[in-house]
Amino acid sequence: MEHDRLFIGGGWAAPHSTARIPVISPTSEQPLGSVPDADEADVNSAVSAARAAFDDPGGWAHWEPARRAEALNRFADALETRSGRIARQVTAQSGMPITISESVEGRTPAFLLRHAAGLITREPLERVQERADSTGSTLIRHDPVGVVGAIAPWNFPQSLAAFKYASALAAGCTVVLKPSPETVLDSVLLADAAMEAGLPAGVMNIVYGGAEAGSALVAHRDVDKIGFTGSTAVGRLIAENCARLLRPVTLELGGKSAGVVLDDVDVGAVVNSPAFSAMTMFNSGQTCWASTRILAPRSRYAEIVEAMASMMDGLVVGDPFDPGTQVGPMVSEKHRTRVENHIRGGAAEGARLVTGGGRPRHMDKGWFVEPTLFADVDNASAIAQEEIFGPVLCVIPYEDDADAVRLANDSSYGLSGSVWTGDTDRGIAVARRVRTGVFSVNGKRTDLGAPFGGEKNSGLGRELGTEGLASYQRLQSIFM
Ligand code: NAD
């Protein structure tokens, strides 16, 4: 797909920049298409359109919530009619197995738009409360925060963009979305859907670009809030810029979450369950919340390592368009090199390579990495502390539940985690003691209506649910 426009001010606008972003298939290594690579002037145009739409006295920000909700539901309808094409485009660009693209990327944005539309019509935007000193009353108002700069990564390009724009639009904000350069083609379909839904001009804008466009958006004086998902390194840079500008920012960053297997489980049943492989290896390991550090009780350590090796060896690696494929390629050649460097580093640090470690022999093209398992890993080693973002797991022994909690918390990250047990209450007791933003008991995955986000190097703030919506609102107290 060759595309020569940016989505600005409600239509396709010719870019100022003459540079292009080529998109390469990670499976065939062949070009898939290209889009304009927005420069600062293009970002300025998009922000101006969003600013004008936000400042319109009778515009989007001032519509009754029910009217905005209707528009969001139309946007969801328009996305749903394109869900198959969106899923295929995501798989083509990123190598995401098609079953995941269809179930997550094809569905989540519409779900989130409908959910946010429901929240904005249900949650009161104003309330009157008695003054604390009982001498009158105060009106407390929730207004939209303003123009939002939304910056998304490549690993779930549609869903993670929607984590931001669904809440922001529902709150009455206007949005400039910058997708990741690796996955820009699917956002052409997103723009088509926004147009078909009849969102007013400038309410939703999309600029393709990389770090230059992203930095211009973060620093723009007419942007009121930044919502970012991506790496910790870039998130820290954005936080520094937002701190200087005193600009609110939500950061969803990296993770290195623990999967705690308690000693009461049926190891074979747990490790071979679809929930366990999804929690550890979803999207070929390119998932921020994946449990990639498996903590195994010493009493059952050998049994767990053996079951995991057989689970990893059984995963189907191949063409991501084949519905039977469980592990596709890494998103880019550069990213595969990064994953392979981590694998080499793990072996050099003395971890025991149980299975994998190379490239699958049956794939002669594409940026594939074999599902790789390390055992006897020291939790202090780089392979246990650094995010790899590929199909690589490590198994670390622990002594008792308290030791497992200590190891789970011994990480600079704090995004997610999981516990596997025959006793849900025991699992919840472990979950309560782990300092992460989300946690799963026995493979229950993310609830799209609950706050989502991380602690420590995993980020700041929360997306989704009422708390996510609130992050796109500003508060005003009027003393009466
Ligand atoms: P990345 O940080 O390289 O890029 C993310 C986005 O930021 C891209 O759109 C990129 O173009 C843009 N960007 C790059 N430099 C910028 C700058 N200086 N200023 C503004 N924008 C800039 O991350 P990635 O490689 O696309 O994504 C993978 C990372 O995302 C992993 O670390 C993963 O853990 C993280 N992630 C986190 C979550 C979460 O919810 N916590 C979810 C998915 C992915």
Which amino acid is present at 407?
A: L
Q: DSSP readout, 416-480?
A: -EEEE-S-HHHHHHHHHHS--S--EETT----TTS-B--EETTEES-BSHHHHHHTTEEEEEEE-
Residue 24's pLDDT is what?
97
Q: Is the CB of 163 under 6 A from ligand 1?
A: no
Ligand 1 site-directed mutation target among 43, 223, 234, 286, most atoms within 8 Å of CB = 234
- What are the residue ranges spanned by the domains of the chain? 6-253+458-479, 257-447
The tokens for 4 are: 């020569």
Give the CA dihedral 147, 148, 149, 152, nearest 10 degrees: -160
Q: Is the CB of 238 under 6 A from ligand 1?
A: yes
CATH of 6-253+458-479, one of 3.30.465.10, 3.40.605.10, 3.40.50.300, 1.20.1640.10: 3.40.605.10
Question: Which ligand 1 atom sits closest to the C-alpha of 163?
Answer: 40
pLDDT 10s digits, 183-229: 999 999 999 999 999 999 999 999 999 999 999 999 999 999 999 99
Q: What is the CA(432)–ligand 1 centre distance, in A?
A: 28
The superfamily CATH assigns to domain 257-447 is Aldehyde Dehydrogenase; Chain A, domain 2 (3.40.309.10)
Residue 208's pLDDT is what?
97
Q: DSSP readout, 220-281?
A: -TT--EEEEES-HHHHHHHHHHHHHHT--EEEE----EEEEE-TTS-HHHHHTSHHHHHHHH
Q: How far apart are CA 171 and CA 266, in angstroms?
A: 46
Q: How far apart are CA 179 and CA 62, in angstroms?
A: 27
Residue 215: C-alpha distances to residues 43, 218, 228 (Å): 10, 5, 12
Instruction: Tell me the sheet residues that pair with 479.
Output: 138
Q: Is the CB of 231 under 6 A from ligand 1?
A: yes
Cα–Cα nearest to 407, from 303, 260, 308: 260
Cα–Cα nearest to 182, from 329, 84, 316, 317: 329
Residue 461's pLDDT is what?
98
The tokens for 201 are: 């001009």
Question: Which ligand 1 atom sits closest to the C-alpha of 241?
Answer: 19
- For tokens 């074999």, the residue is 370
Q: What is the CA(153)–ligand 1 centre distance, in A?
A: 5
Band of the pLDDT at 237, cuts 50, 70, 90?
Answer: very high
Q: How far apart are CA 80 and CA 188, in angstroms?
A: 15
Nearest CA, atom 32, ligand 1: 231
Q: Does the pLDDT at position 67 exceed 90?
A: yes
- Per DSSP, the three-state class of 93 is helix
pLDDT 10s digits, 280-293: 999 999 999 999 99
Cα–Cα nearest to 314, from 303, 300, 324: 324
Residue 1's pLDDT is what?
83
Q: Is the CB of 282 under 6 A from ligand 1?
A: no
Q: Sort strands 249-252 and 225-229 into parallel, antiparallel or unpaired.
A: parallel
Q: How far apart are CA 416 and CA 438, in angstroms?
A: 5
Q: Does the pLDDT at position 445 exceed 90?
A: no
Q: Is the CB of 253 under 6 A from ligand 1?
A: yes
Burial of 419 (0-12, 13-18, 19+ CB in 10 A): buried
Question: Which ligand 1 atom sits closest to the C-alpha of 252?
Answer: 41
The tokens for 300 are: 């059952």
CB 209 within 8 A of CB 187: no
Q: Is the CB of 252 under 6 A from ligand 1?
A: yes
Cα–Cα nearest to 415, from 439, 432, 397, 394: 439
Q: What is the CA(233)–ligand 1 centre distance, in A?
A: 9
Nearest CA, atom 8, ligand 1: 180
Q: Is the CB of 160 under 6 A from ligand 1?
A: yes
Ligand 1 site-directed mutation target among 35, 151, 160, most atoms within 8 Å of CB = 151
Q: Is the CB of 159 under 6 A from ligand 1?
A: no
Q: What is the CA(480)–ligand 1 centre distance, in A?
A: 45
- Per DSSP, the three-state class of 320 is coil
pLDDT 10s digits, 99-142: 999 999 999 999 999 999 999 999 899 999 999 999 999 999 99
Q: What is the CA(419)–ligand 1 centre distance, in A?
A: 27
* Crossing angle (nearest 10°) for helices 157-171 and 108-122: 20
Residue 157's pLDDT is what?
98
Q: For the chain, what's the residue count? A: 480
Query: pTM score, two decimals?
Result: 0.97
* Residues noted as catalytic: 252, 288
CB 339 within 8 A of CB 389: yes
Q: Is the CB of 254 under 6 A from ligand 1?
A: yes
Q: What is the CA(165)–ligand 1 centre distance, in A?
A: 16
- Considering the chain, what percentage of its residues have pLDDT values greater than 90? 99
Residue 53's pLDDT is what?
98
Give the CA dihedral 269, 347, 25, 366, nearest 10 degrees: -90
Residue 316's pLDDT is what?
98
CA angle 261, 299, 268 (to 5 degrees): 50
As a 3-state breakdown, the chain gives helix, strand, coil percent values, each rounded to 5, of: 40, 20, 35
Instruction: Tell me the sheet residues that pair with 128.
Output: 139
Average confidence (pLDDT) over 23-33: 97
pLDDT 10s digits, 263-282: 999 999 999 999 999 999 99
**CA 266 to chain centroid:** 32
Q: How far apart are CA 343 and CA 330, in angstroms?
A: 14
Per the prediction, the chain carries an average pLDDT of 97
Q: Is the CB of 211 under 6 A from ligand 1?
A: yes
Ligand 1 site-directed mutation target among 158, 160, 229, most atoms within 8 Å of CB = 229
Integer-rounded Cα Rg, in Å, for the chain is 23
Q: What is the CA(251)–ligand 1 centre distance, in A?
A: 10
